[in-house]
Amino acid sequence: MIGAIAGDIIGSVYESSGLKTTEFAIFTAHSTFTDDTVLTVAVADCILYGKDYATTFKQYARKYPYAGFGGMFLKWVKSDSLAPYNSFGNGSAMRVSPVGFAFDTLEEVLAEAKRSAEVTHNHSEGIKGAQAVAAAIFLARKKEGRSKIKDVIEKNFGYNLRQTLEEIRPHYYFNETCEGSVPQAIIAFLESDSYEDAVRKAISLGGDSDTIACMTGGIAQAYYERIPAYIIKEVKNRLDSELLKVIEQFNMKYCLS
């Protein structure tokens, strides 16, 4: 899942910037983890130790209150309720990457992605977005080719993955919905030739850059397996010890680099 976290950190300074190029500084002095990373680690924590998703999400959000959580999510965090709020935002998909790495069948991945999503994002589009990203990661991890990944996602989730980035980019704008960002994140991966290229292409759309790069980055890690060492070093330098501890425990259990 470090690939998703790296995408989040790299994209953090370009969110809402309208950037429309792959030529940009991969890290800056202001590159930092956001709510995408916090909740990705929370999902990993739940998988590792069988914790309750809703309770754990609230605990992590209260520990990192300035990570950039959305308004509806923060309202839920501050409430006494554990009931979901029918969101179809991309928050369910940004945090799901550990699911794609941790389970051994597509059926298990889809079921767990649904569980991780529906505690907040119980809208059908919110669940679908999480399942699609987790499925793409699982298929990439299982050495399926891009064509197979594309076909499975289109068939099972109805996303149009036939558009190209060149067609999407000129008219694309900031969109926090699953429907308006998950397909674009998957297409960025499908058109890539390396982990870094995938993340650069995701950010070049000029939208919700940290979240799109987070989703793309998780898939790219699973497919390409190796992330450049300098990226891993920069990412770890920007994480605190508690987040790093969960990441390392998850990587050890699921044999990830």
Which is more confidently placed, 225 or 48? 48
- Quick one: pLDDT at residue 163? 95
- Quick one: pLDDT at residue 255? 72
- Which domains does the chain carry? 2-253 (1.10.4080.10)
* Per-residue model confidence as pLDDT tens digits over 36-76: 999 999 999 999 999 999 999 999 999 999 999 999 999 99
**How far apart (Å, rounded) are the C-alpha atoms in residues 81 and 84?**
8
**For residue 164, is pLDDT > 90?**
yes
**How far apart (Å, rounded) are the C-alpha atoms in residues 158 and 139?**
17
- Quick one: pLDDT at residue 18? 84
Q: Are 126 and 178 in contact (CB under 8 A)?
A: yes
* Per-residue model confidence as pLDDT tens digits over 70-93: 999 999 999 999 999 999 999 999
Q: Stretch 98-112: mean pLDDT, rounded?
A: 97
* Per-residue model confidence as pLDDT tens digits over 228-248: 999 999 999 999 999 999 999
**How far apart (Å, rounded) are the C-alpha atoms in residues 206 and 209?**
6
- Quick one: pLDDT at residue 214? 98
**For residue 138, is pLDDT > 80?**
yes
**For residue 257, is pLDDT > 70?**
no
* Per-residue model confidence as pLDDT tens digits over 184-199: 999 999 999 999 999 9
Give Cβ neighbours of residue 192 (< 8 Å, ≥ 6 apart). 198, 201, 216, 220
Longest alpha-carbon distance in the chain: 46
- Quick one: pLDDT at residue 228? 96
Strands, E assignment, the chain: none
Question: Both ends of the chain: CA-CA distance in Å?
Answer: 10
**Considering only CA atoms, which of 114, 109, 121, 29 is closest in space to residue 73?**
121
* Residue listed under structure tokens 């990412």: 235
DSSP state of 181: T
**For residue 256, is pLDDT > 80?**
no
What rounded mean pLDDT belongs to the chain?
A: 96
